[in-house]
Structure 1
């Protein structure tokens, strides 16, 4: 019992340190800057506006804290977009100044000299010098970055062109989250003994296959077979949206086995930052692809071609999947 109290005190001390105050401050500063810029910028969409919005995503990716979505939804229904952006920028600005004004010594917690930014950074660099870790993280991030995402274009096509009600898209997201929960059970019971490289590669191929299914959907193939558009959107669109994250479970298990003892948290944080950056690159590529094939608000004739290109890019990481270890010899990690 006494040992448990010591562990709990050490955990609380590890959480409230400058190493975590700094990311919270950076996150708040980036989000305040980006939302304020959007609030005072012209209403027309430009490359600058998109870049500022992506800056807010970068700030949010540093930590997992998010402003309550339900409150934002309620506020947006009663205010203009500029007012909403202005309000949000003020909230995160308040968070920024509050964070930088709090000193660790004022919390009265015991200090742990072994925890600090320099120590965590040195441990992270040591882990990243291992080829199996560096190559695996590089492959995982690139598997997202090389895919030009057309999710926004597909959303506009479904809601504005096909006139599918937004409630249907909400149901599709619920269906997708339910499959995420089911995926955890299936992986734990049947798939965790499979080689990580084979399993992740199979998921990558499945993503590309469902993107080809979207091509058939855009061309009206399923509609001709008697399948309503709403049914396809609920099942396939919701599943495809979360399928991108199916790779996280086997990959994080693999990474936990590869990284040295005591460095798991730093490695996982670095992985999530790399993936966040990869999604930003992927979003830019999606905008560039939609512009190149001349997709507009009234002309979606090039959407099927864009989806084919997107599926082809999804298959590219398979050719360098050898970066992912086939098997990892598990080691018993001692607990202090």
Structure 2
């Protein structure tokens, strides 16, 4: 846990981000456990998947609390340790409960608890990245470079965890029980817990927080930032660009496993391909795309999502199969890319928010952004259930699936009509000093 410079910050963030990305491993088991073990239908599966993200909506509150409430002089490490502990309790409980005692309500409670812990960890990690970007240099360019490098490091660690987690998850689902997968991940979280508590925050050389403002003042600063029209309109556009799209994750999972009969290894490889694309996207963005105006880049990603959805219509109508493209190849490549395309917008948009955000409010605003995304994806998941029910698509009837996907693609294009809410070009907000040192 100690780097070459004697500061355990990078190993701490790297290992923590890797574990957060590796959460795809147990979640691969969750889908099959719900479908095969508890015999849930596709609407129930999607409702559970969406509802499990409810704790993510509270991220701004977790961030503000960690800013102002210290435990023995520490205000990041204790929150990371607590979040990891809650996740470990959640997954170990599901793993060790006898199968007859596991109900939909029981697993829903533990999944909510696990995501509550994960959201706390993510907020604390993001705060550490934000704080580190402020330290050690009087040069604005140097600070920006330092923060960008650490953000890229964390992003890549999470992507590598996602690749490995989904790859192993797809293999493990066929060879082990889902509860064995939950047990393995729970034990991995126990290791993370003890490595985290072995680090004292003083060793991270973080900048001292001289303001130590209360929760009320932190909320006031966040409120002032959200009153900035550029920030407010951008956030509304970004949240709505997710919320109005009825996602069909549960329906597509049943279509791929029940109707097409694809193995879990194929679904695992699909997610691996998507995570690898995410990693490649972060590299390409940093090297080639970060100078493109955010409105143009984010709108291009939105339009690309619609194109991939239209491709899914051809897929479910078996056009690609008739052209000689195996279903498994399409699912691995195109379905894997479509799933992560929803996340491609986050990187350029988070950079945009960092540029628009007034100094001193970075952590709270980024937590608010993540909670807005979480709430929007929950809404889109519920809309997907409503759409599938309205069209008549179920776990054993997929005749109306092409019409569902066409409606989904049309909803994806709609936000482009008010993309002017995103600034075309911005300059970073500069901190106003009352006096020079």
What range is the shorter-chain TM-score in? Answer: 0.7 to 0.9
- 1:30 and 1:163, CA in 2 relative to 1: closer, same or farther beyond 3 A? closer
> Over residues 128-174 of structure 1, what are the superposed CA-to-partner deviations in whole Å (9 max), with x where a residue is unaligned?
12111122122212211211111221122112211112112222222
Counterpart of 1:241 in structure 2 is 339
Q: Match of 1:297, SS?
A: coil
> Over residues 164-216 of structure 1, what are the superposed CA-to-partner deviations in whole Å (9 max), with x where a residue is unaligned?
12112222222212221221232233322222111111111110110111111
- 1:285 and 1:21, CA in 2 relative to 1: closer, same or farther beyond 3 A? farther
Q: What is the Cα-based RMSD across aligned positions, in Å? A: 4.6
Q: Is the aligned partner of 1:174 residue 2:232?
A: no
Match for residue 269 of structure 1 among 350, 367, 378: 367
Q: TM-score, normalised by structure 1?
A: 0.74
Q: Match of 1:296, SS?
A: coil
Q: Is the aligned partner of 1:301 residue 2:408?
A: no
Structure 2: stretches of 5+ with no match in the other structure: 13-65, 126-157, 159-163, 195-199
Structure 1: stretches of 5+ with no match in the other structure: 99-103
How far apart are the structure 2 equivalents of 1:75 and 1:248? 30
Q: Is the aligned partner of 1:139 residue 2:237?
A: yes
- 1:32 and 1:320, CA in 2 relative to 1: closer, same or farther beyond 3 A? farther
- 1:282 and 1:42, CA in 2 relative to 1: closer, same or farther beyond 3 A? farther
C-alpha deviation, 1:41, in angstroms: 11
Counterpart of 1:199 in structure 2 is 297
Contact 2:243 2:376 in 1 (8 A): yes
Bigger shift: residues 218-227 or 188-197: 188-197
How far apart are the structure 2 equivalents of 1:44 and 1:290? 27
Q: Match of 1:328, SS?
A: coil
Q: Is the aligned partner of 1:215 residue 2:313?
A: yes
Counterpart of 2:325 in structure 1 is 227
- 1:197 and 1:292, CA in 2 relative to 1: closer, same or farther beyond 3 A? same
Match for residue 114 of structure 1 among 202, 210, 231: 210
How far apart are the structure 1 equivalents of 2:105 and 2:412? 25
Bigger shift: residues 51-60 or 219-228: 51-60
Counterpart of 1:310 in structure 2 is 408
- 1:123 and 1:327, CA in 2 relative to 1: closer, same or farther beyond 3 A? same
Contact 2:358 2:431 in 1 (8 A): no
Q: Match of 1:245, SS?
A: helix
How far apart are the structure 1 equivalents of 2:227 and 2:295? 21
Contact 2:234 2:421 in 1 (8 A): yes
The count of residues paired between Structure 1 and Structure 2 equals 328
Contact 1:196 1:327 in 2 (8 A): yes
How far apart are the structure 1 equivalents of 2:223 and 2:98? 41
Counterpart of 2:380 in structure 1 is 282
Counterpart of 2:118 in structure 1 is 60
